[in-house]
Homo-oligomer: A and B are copies of this chain.
Amino acid sequence: MRVLGVDPGLTRCGVGVVEGVAGRPLRMVGVGVVRTPADADVADRLVLIERGIEQWLDEHRPEYVAVERVFSQHNVRTVMGTAQASAVAMLCAARRGLPVALHTPSEVKAAVTGSGRADKAQVGAMVTRLLRLDAPPRPADAADALALAICHIWRAPATNRLQELAAAHRRTPTPVRIPKGTR
């Protein structure tokens, strides 16, 4: 499976594409950052992010998109921008019919380092090792995007089974009760 990971942000939106299956060596297909100028209007910055994500989707044709789930424990202003950038990433993927998965930062850290409280350096080191890169991808947002994609590939068997069950449940027709005497 080929997964695009997106670490959303208005100033730097990390993007990374990883290919592979759980239990086998993984391969990095591409990594980068979509940047927007801090002095531009938010609306224009969202247009630039949309354009950037669209280019990555066009070029690398992922089958899944994994986006970091945004929490608001942090700085309020930053969180708004992150939520807005993540909305654009989700929109671009869903518009193409690609399944979108959200993973929390601690799920991602736990997946690649074994600890949900690992720091940036540890995540970067493990991404480098798992994808057999020469050096940790810079900036950290790019490494985080790859970590998200890896997390999704490794969690996929469980997640996909749940999604399939949910979809099957939705497909099950609701039994229609026909009142006695009407037929």
Which of A14-22, A38-46, A124-132, A140-148 sits within the interface?
Answer: A38-46
> Which residues on the B side are within 8 Å of A79 (C-beta)?
72, 83
A95 interface residue per 8 A CB criterion:
yes
In angstroms, Cα B118 to Cα A99, docked, is 43
B86 contacts A41, CB within 8 Å? Answer: no
A41 contacts B100, CB within 8 Å? yes
- Nearest B-chain residue to A82, judged by Cβ: B83
- Chain A binding surface, main DSSP class: helix
Cβ < 8 Å to B, chain A residues 117-169: none
Contact indicator A44/B94 (Cβ below 8 Å) = yes
Q: Shortest CB–CB separation between residue A74 and chain B, in angstroms?
A: 11
Taken together, the copies of this chain in the complex come to: 2
For the complex, what is the distance from the CA of A138 to the CA of B42, rounded to whole Å?
Answer: 30
- Contact indicator A100/B43 (Cβ below 8 Å): yes
How many residues on chain A are close to B (CB under 8 Å)? 26
Taking a contact as CB atoms closer than 8 A, the residue among B47, B71, B87 that contacts A94 in the complex is: B47
Q: How far is the CA of A79 from the CA of B46 in the complex (A)?
A: 18
A88 CB-CB contact with B under 8 Å = yes
Query: Which residues of chain A (81-115) have a CB below 8 Å from chain B?
Result: 83-88, 90-91, 93-95, 100, 102
A50 within 8 A of B: yes
* 3 A-B pairs with the lowest CB-CB distances in the bound complex, closest first: A84-B87, A43-B94, A83-B83
